[in-house]
Amino acid sequence: MRAALLSALVSALILIECGVPSPEARDASSDDRTEERARMVREQIASRGVRDPRVLAAMEAVPRHALVPEALSDRAYADGPLPIGEGQTISQPYIVAAMSEAADVGPEERVLEVGTGSGYQAAVLSHLAREVYTIELEPSLAARAAADLARLGCTNVHTRTGDGYAGWPEAAPFDAILVTAAPDHVPDALVEQLAMGGRLVIPVGPRGGGQQLVVLEKTAEGVTRETLLPVMFVPLRRDPEE
């Protein structure tokens, strides 16, 4: 009983930690851009139909401006994707919210993200899940995201450099998997690494257009598939060394 209470307390602390400044820090820097985030949630996310209160709260909490390149900081809360280097992009805030809602992540769940990029989606997931595992193919992006997530205090996010096509078998199974780059078909390894009842949220389609965001769910009767909306993601690349 006491252990359960302690664990609930610890997860509550983790939930409010990632990217959220302490009251003292907030006093010291008055500009943590809380109002811009509240407007982003209202005008770009809730208005387009995202309802999950935990997702909306996470989107309000995570400082997107701390994860985009400094030169683009003034556009951090704009309604679109932004370049993050190496030809990659941080997704539009609405897409991050819609994918998080579709993944339906509970506070005790473990989640895998493929395509760490800036670390923003991982930071949002860190508010929703117990543990987040995120894998990035491009070493320089992986290193920068790992450093940024550590700086923000996202202690329940585990980062790795590698080809997410194969998932993260040592940490599987996952209650949810989010893929933030588009393959032309759903990788088998990711479906295999879903727990029973687990959800895989993934953009699928040819590069440069025609992609759909789909949600697969592993059930006792098999894998169900639902198409959510048309999207445009960078391609999920294969590791050239494999």
**CB closer to ligand SAH, 109 vs 113:** 113
> Which residue is catalytic, options 91, 100, 118, 126?
91
Query: Taking CA 107 as the corner, what is the angle to CA 42 and CA 151, rounded to the nearest 5 degrees?
Result: 75
* Token duo for residue 89: 């992009």
Q: Which amino acid is at 50?
A: V
Nearest approach, Cβ of residue 89 and ligand SAH (Å): 6
Nearest approach, Cβ of residue 106 and ligand SAH (Å): 21
Nearest approach, Cβ of residue 183 and ligand SAH (Å): 8
Say how far apart CA 100 and CA 1 lie, in whole Å. Answer: 31
**Residues 48, 111, 214, 146: is their CA dihedral positive or negative?**
positive
Cβ–Cβ under 8 Å, residues 156 and 131: yes
**CB closer to ligand SAH, 10 vs 194:** 194
Please confirm, yes or no, whether 91 is among the known catalytic residues: yes
Residue ranges binding ligand SAH (CB under 6 A): 88-91, 114-115, 117-118, 120-121, 135-138, 141, 163-165, 180-181, 234, 236-237
Residues 6 or more apart from 89 whose CB is under 8 A from it? Answer: 81, 82, 83, 117, 234
**CB closer to ligand SAH, 7 vs 58:** 58
Q: Which residues are catalytic?
A: 91
